[in-house]
Amino acid sequence: MPQSWRHAIRTLVLLTGLVLAGLFAQPAHAQSLGWVKQGGSGSPNVGNAIAADGSGNTCVAGAFQGSTTFGPSQVNQTTLTLTSAGVTDLFVAKYNAAGALLWVTQAGSAAADAVYGIAVDGSDNCYVTGVFEGNDNLADTFVTKVDAGGTLLWTKQTGGESESIGYAIAADGDGNSYVTGVFGGSAIFGL
């Protein structure tokens, strides 16, 4: 094939690609800020995970130390103050689509706790994973389930000869949760 033909074919392919890209391109939609919430106190507070449920609510999970305050987001709304039982405790908070606080709940060990992931299932239950300092002074993974109304239903943990950390979690429509993370040596699941 002559060199001029190769050049013409390459040009035609390039132009065809550009025309097709122009035909199927969608205009970019500008994002707008819906709402912003600030909580906390003078002590360290960390919101590490966020997920939306099927009803348009937002679930936020993290850890706090000492006392921390959630709300109010509007006049005449409730302000909730939590106090950690350990060095740090975890929190799970749910806000409606307008940013109003629906509920907040806490859990934790006597030592330090950290949250790394949150997921919501088809029934709007929240599943949270992270790490806590166990009785053996090693970091152990936890998974906590909080129902759609903010009630803590259960907490499961892993243990073993070394540390383990839950970094991410997913949930399906049947209420099953799936956790990924790390552990050293051997681990015991479902404690």
Tell me which residue of 45, 77, 42 sits closest to 60, measured CA to CA: 45
Cβ–Cβ under 8 Å, residues 119 and 171? yes
The residue that leads in pLDDT, 127 or 10, is: 127
Asked if pLDDT for residue 50 goes beyond 60, the answer is yes
**pLDDT for the residue 36:** 72
What is the DSSP secondary-structure string of 64-132?
E-SEEEE--SSTT---EEEE-SSSSEEEEEEE-TT--EEEEEEE--SS-EEEEEEEE-TT--EEEEEEE
CA distances from 62 to 5, 21, 98 (A): 62, 42, 21
Task: Write the pLDDT tens digit of every residue in 67-112.
Answer: 888 876 555 567 788 888 888 999 999 999 988 889 999 998 888 8
Write out pLDDT tens, residues 111-165.
Answer: 889 999 999 999 999 999 999 887 777 888 899 999 999 999 999 988 777 888 8
Structure tokens at 31: 């994002």
Q: Write down the pTM of the prediction.
A: 0.77
**pLDDT-derived band at 18, boundaries 50, 70, 90:** very low
Bridge partners, residue 64, by sequence: 45, 89
Residue 190 has what pLDDT? Answer: 66
In the prediction, which pLDDT does 38 show? 64
d(CA 106, CA 151): 10
34, two tokens: 């819906």
Domain boundaries, the chain: 41-188
